[in-house]
């Protein structure tokens, strides 16, 4: 075939596959067998492999990113991704409509579009010239994380829009979720390999989107339904109903259970129907989203800072039960956060047995007035997270015990510090506010193992060979009782550990010795100071240069730095004003650990000021090594190719980044070229 005929054949196969994908994943109505589909796919792969110049990013064969992601960059949303206010009864739903009518001072009959409220994770998609170019999380509403490589693996998300009359630029928003059956299969696999179970489908979807290996994301069988659009360029869409009809024409996955309602009476009937029938669905839902249909009226009705006034969620009645609080215990985390946990008499609620519930913080205990021995009402918030709703005072018998807020750590008896801030719950993914207590002792046994794991991690002191099992054994056998004890380890200690022979012992001793030469930024990050991440650690190290300067820091010194706010500043001052911390740091000095940050290289280098991206498998460097070289020599390291990229460094089996670099005219170099530029060869 001529090249033109090959090109036509390739595009024809792509269209056939896109059509089959749409019918299978978006409509659940396949029109060809799996074998026929596989044959089409294999033919396309063969033609593309024979003609690599004809491969495009939106080809069905290019869904999965080649290699691992380094990190997720930040995406600024064109319009804020708002959250919804909730209603919990038909009465509240009617009052919501009354407020809208009062707001617009109009007695018109409002019509609505209603959708099932998926129990998943919000994500926005941007299509430029019909192609998917960006996938992003909701984040804080203004900015999210760039998860493009991961959303490309989701088969119900088209890489290229289909049909006619498509806007040149459009952002749509929707929900990433996992079907109930796929969630159960995923957890069964995790059990078989000894991994922790996901608590619920929502957490599984959220965790999957944050993976740095798109190949793993692909195996999670994520799905996506579009629920709204965020931005459209030079295109008029007048109603929510019109948008869904257009989105369906363009090949986007739309929930078939969405419905247009002429009035609030029909909305209520829809809500009550699905409240009764939700268990018949293949996915988890926790309510109904009700939207005013007209975009013109939506604009007139407006929004608050956090939520649209023209939309609301009707939350299904949570499954509730009563049980007794047997006792309240305290759990100490890696960073020293002390969390009260209620141990409950086991009770069936929403199809599962519940025996524990986090109380989040000590303000929550006081707000609810919980005592040990109380009978309480619990619910599975969103049908998933066990939550204590209230105390049933009428059930008290006088034998209940008031819980006293601790003044010292329940494990090590060291002093605690208070912090009144918002904090994200690891279980629910929601934010709670109140007083949080922190154990200030870095040697506290309850947090030591986790703290050690953080301290020796690659982004901190980078002690290769000291994994979780080694740390557990070192602590359990008493060889390590603080961070600094790592540097007291001797060969004879390591020989007593399981599976440690001569080579393994020598390698770990060398890794420990090498870790002493890391820059101050790595050490600061490794200490696990509350609120101090990698970026903050680097800023602090480059600003103050030596560890001794941290001993005399005041809030005013830190608040002068643009990236450091009062909460972070307070955490740093509290940490370094603790006598035990200072004593520990002085011990690090005695063992020769570097506690100085050298000034950045300012002399002219070929890397200075340039932006580097790496792709494929490097032979002589790890990605962390490459990143370190770039930063040390005044360059910038990025995980994605963009118009500001100066060089793309090619390793073996380079993937989609290479194609994008070619399209943008970005210079590509080999690993050898990079090593020569950096003076490492």
**Sign of the torsion angle spanned by Cα atoms 67, 71, 72, 73:** negative
Percent of the chain with pLDDT over 90: 35
Catalytically annotated residues: 117
pLDDT category at 294 given cuts 50, 70, 90 is very high
Please write the tens of the pLDDT for every residue from 68-85: 677 788 889 988 898 888
Residue 585 has pLDDT above 60, yes or no: yes
pLDDT category at 428 given cuts 50, 70, 90 is very low
Contact 223, 156 (CB under 8 A): yes
Q: Tell me, what's the pLDDT at 515?
A: 93
User: Can you tell me the distance from the alpha carbon of 355 to that of 321, in angstroms, rounded to the nearest whole number?
Assistant: 12
The helix/strand/coil state of 87 is strand
Q: Is the pTM of this model over 0.85?
A: no
Q: What is the DSSP letter of 411?
A: T
Of 335-344, 359-368, 395-404, 631-640, minimum mean pLDDT range: 631-640
Q: Tell me, what's the pLDDT at 530?
A: 80
Residue 482 has pLDDT above 50, yes or no: yes
Please write the tens of the pLDDT for every residue from 527-573: 988 888 887 888 899 889 999 999 988 888 887 786 688 888 888 99
Please write the tens of the pLDDT for every residue from 620-678: 888 878 887 887 777 877 877 888 889 999 888 776 688 778 878 899 999 999 998 88
Cβ-based neighbour number of residue 602 at 10 Å:
8
pLDDT category at 207 given cuts 50, 70, 90 is confident
Q: Which domains does the chain have, with CATH numbers?
A: 3-62 (1.10.287.610), 86-315 (3.30.470.30), 320-405 (2.40.50.140), 445-582 (1.10.150.20), 611-677 (3.40.50.10190)
Q: What is the DSSP string of 527-567?
A: TT-TT--HHHHHHHHHHH-BGGGGTT--HHHHHTSTT--HH
Please write the tens of the pLDDT for every residue from 330-354: 888 777 888 899 999 998 876 678 8
Residue 381 has pLDDT above 60, yes or no: no
* Structure tokens belonging to residue 84: 């919804």
Q: Name residue, tokens 């599975």.
A: 380
Residue 423 has pLDDT above 50, yes or no: no
Q: Tell me, what's the pLDDT at 276?
A: 83
Q: Tell me, what's the pLDDT at 419?
A: 64
Give the residue-averaged pLDDT of 262-275.
94
Contact 171, 78 (CB under 8 A): yes
Please write the tens of the pLDDT for every residue from 96-115: 999 998 888 766 779 999 99
């Amino acid at each position: 075939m001529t090249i033109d005929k090959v090109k036509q054949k390739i595009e024809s196969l792509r269209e056939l596959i896109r059509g089959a994908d749409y019918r299978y994943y978006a409509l659940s109505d396949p029109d060809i067998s799996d074998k026929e589909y596989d044959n089409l796919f294999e033919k396309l792969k063969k033609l593309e492999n024979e003609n690599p110049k004809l491969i495009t990013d939106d080809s069905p064969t290019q869904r999965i990113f080649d290699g691992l992601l380094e990190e997720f960059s930040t995406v600024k949303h064109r319009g804020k991704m708002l959250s919804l206010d909730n209603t919990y009864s038909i009465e509240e739903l009617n009052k919501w409509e009354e407020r809208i009518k009062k707001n617009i001072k109009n007695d018109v009959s409002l019509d609505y579009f209603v959708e099932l409220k998926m129990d998943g994770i919000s994500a926005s998609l941007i299509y430029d010239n019909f192609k998917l170019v960006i996938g992003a999380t909701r984040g804080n509403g203004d900015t999210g994380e760039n998860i493009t490589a991961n959303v490309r693996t989701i088969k119900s998300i088209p890489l290229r829009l289909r049909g006619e009359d498509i806007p040149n630029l459009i952002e749509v928003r929707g929900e990433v979720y996992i079907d109930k059956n796929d969630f159960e299969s995923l957890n069964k696999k995790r059990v078989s390999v000894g991994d922790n179970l996901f608590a619920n489908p929502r957490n599984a979807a959220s965790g999957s989107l944050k993976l740095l290996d798109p190949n793993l994301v692909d195996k999670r069988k994520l799905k996506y339904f579009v629920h709204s659009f965020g931005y459209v360029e030079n295109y008029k869409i007048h109603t929510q109903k019109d948008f869904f009809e257009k989105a369906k024409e363009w090949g986007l996955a739309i929930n078939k259970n969405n419905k247009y309602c002429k009035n609030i009476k029909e909305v209520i009937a829809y809500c009550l129907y699905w409240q009764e029938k939700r268990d018949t669905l293949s996915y988890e839902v926790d309510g109904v989203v009700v939207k005013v249909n007209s975009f013109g009226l939506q604009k007139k009705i407006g929004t608050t800072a956090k939520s649209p006034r023209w939309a609301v969620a009707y939350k299904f009645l949570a499954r509730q039960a009563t049980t007794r609080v047997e006792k309240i215990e305290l759990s100490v985390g890696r960073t020293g956060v002390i969390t009260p946990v209620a141990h409950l008499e086991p009770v069936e609620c929403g199809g599962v047995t519940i025996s524990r519930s986090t109380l989040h913080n000590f303000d929550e205990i006081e707000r609810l007035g919980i005592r040990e021995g109380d009978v309480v009402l619990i619910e599975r918030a969103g049908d998933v997270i066990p939550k204590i709703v209230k105390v049933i005072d009428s059930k008290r018998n006088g034998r209940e015990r008031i819980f006293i807020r601790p003044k010292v750590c329940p494990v090590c008896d060291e002093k605690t510090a208070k912090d009144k801030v918002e904090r994200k719950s690891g279980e629910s993914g929601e934010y709670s506010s109140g007083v949080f207590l922190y154990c200030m002792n870095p040697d506290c046994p309850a947090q030591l193992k986790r703290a050690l794991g953080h301290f020796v991690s690659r982004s901190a002191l980078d002690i290769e060979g000291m994994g979780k099992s080694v740390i557990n054994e070192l602590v359990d056998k008493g060889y390590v009782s603080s961070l600094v004890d790592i540097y007291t380890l001797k060969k004879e200690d390591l020989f007593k550990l399981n599976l440690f022979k001569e080579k393994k012992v020598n390698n770990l001793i060398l890794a420990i010795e090498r870790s002493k030469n890391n820059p101050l930024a790595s050490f600061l990050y490794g200490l696990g100071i509350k609120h101090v991440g990698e970026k903050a650690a680097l800023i602090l190290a480059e600003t103050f240069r030596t560890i001794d300067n941290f001993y005399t820091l005041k809030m005013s010194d830190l608040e002068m730095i643009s990236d450091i706010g009062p909460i972070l500043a307070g955490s740093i001052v509290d940490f370094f004003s603790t006598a035990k911390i200072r004593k520990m740091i002085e011990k690090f000095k005695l063992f020769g650990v570097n506690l100085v940050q050298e000034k950045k290289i300012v002399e002219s280098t070929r890397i200075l000021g340039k932006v580097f991206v790496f792709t494929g498998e490097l032979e002589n460097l790890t990605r962390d090594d490459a990143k370190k070289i770039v930063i040390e020599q005044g360059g910038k390291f990025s995980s994605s190719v963009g118009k500001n990229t100066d060089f793309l460094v090619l390793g073996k089996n380079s993937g989609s980044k290479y194609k994008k670099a070619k399209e943008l005219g970005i210079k590509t170099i080999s690993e050898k070229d990079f090593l020569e530029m950096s003076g490492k060869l």
